[in-house]
């Protein structure tokens, strides 16, 4: 029996899986041409998994792990409800187009529904046409009336260092 003829099994990662999650994150970063942006350490990742700030699902076929999905909870203030954000989803190239991505989405949808979440969100790189087509076949749709902005690096540091010119003082919740 070839590895593809074996059933695909989903499992939840634990903190001890941090090295395997890191391996998949590096593979994803390489695929997305972003390898030079990976600064995460196994120790930090282990902490996020231990404290359940993130969740990770693995897809395995026989003895081989072939993909992963990393997600976390979100909150929509106007609705007063939680959501699930899929930060990363990656299936190794030789296992694509075999239904594994759909299995990840189905499992994540079940998790969201079981937890009472009202939506799932994710982003996709504009050049990734295969993924866009896949998401649209699932029923996903782009959120066209919002533009994602980002503040990072020197711009973030610069803004954090600027004083409040209104004369106001910063008040921490614990300083009252």
CATH of the domain at 78: 3.40.630.30
Asked if pLDDT for residue 38 goes beyond 60, the answer is: yes
Predicted structure pTM score? 0.85
pLDDT tens-digit series, residues 80-137: 999 999 999 999 999 998 999 999 999 999 999 999 999 999 999 999 999 999 999 9
Is residue 172 one of the residues assigned to a domain? no
The number of folded domains in the chain is 1
> What are the C-alpha distances in Å from 63 to residues 3, 26, 46, 60, 104?
9, 21, 23, 7, 18
Give me the pLDDT at residue 84, please. 97
Domain that holds residue 88: 3-161
- Within-domain flag for 174: no
What's the average model confidence in pLDDT over 148-154?
90
The pLDDT of residue 39 is above 50 = yes
- pLDDT classification of 49: cutoffs 50, 70, 90: very high
**Of 117, 122, 104, the residue nearest 57 (C-alpha):** 104
Q: Which residue has the higher pLDDT, 49 or 63?
A: 49
Q: Specify the pLDDT at position 147.
A: 87
What is 26-76 written as a DSSP string? HHHHHHTT-GGG----HHHHHHHHHTTSSEEEEEEETTEEEEEEEEEEEEE
Rounded Cα gap, residues 10 and 7, in angstroms: 10
> Which residues are known catalytic residues?
135
């Amino acid at each position: 029996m070839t590895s593809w003829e074996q059933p695909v099994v989903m499992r939840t990662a634990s903190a001890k899986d941090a090295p395997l999650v890191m391996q998949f994150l590096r593979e994803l970063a390489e695929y997305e041409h972003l390898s030079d942006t990976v600064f995460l350490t196994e120790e930090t990742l282990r902490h996020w998994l231990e404290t359940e700030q993130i969740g990770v699902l693995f897809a395995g076929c026989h003895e081989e792990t072939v993909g992963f999905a990393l997600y976390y909870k979100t909150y929509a203030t106007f609705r007063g409800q939680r959501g699930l954000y899929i930060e990363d989803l990656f299936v190794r190239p030789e296992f694509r187009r075999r239904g594994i991505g759909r299995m990840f989405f189905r499992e994540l949808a079940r998790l969201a529904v079981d937890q009472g979440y009202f939506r799932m969100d994710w982003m996709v790189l504009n050049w990734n046409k295969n993924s866009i087509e896949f998401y649209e076949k699932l029923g996903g749709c782009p959120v066209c009336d919002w533009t994602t902005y980002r503040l990072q690096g020197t711009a973030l540091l610069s803004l954090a260092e600027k004083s409040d010119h209104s004369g106001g003082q910063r008040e921490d919740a614990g300083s009252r």
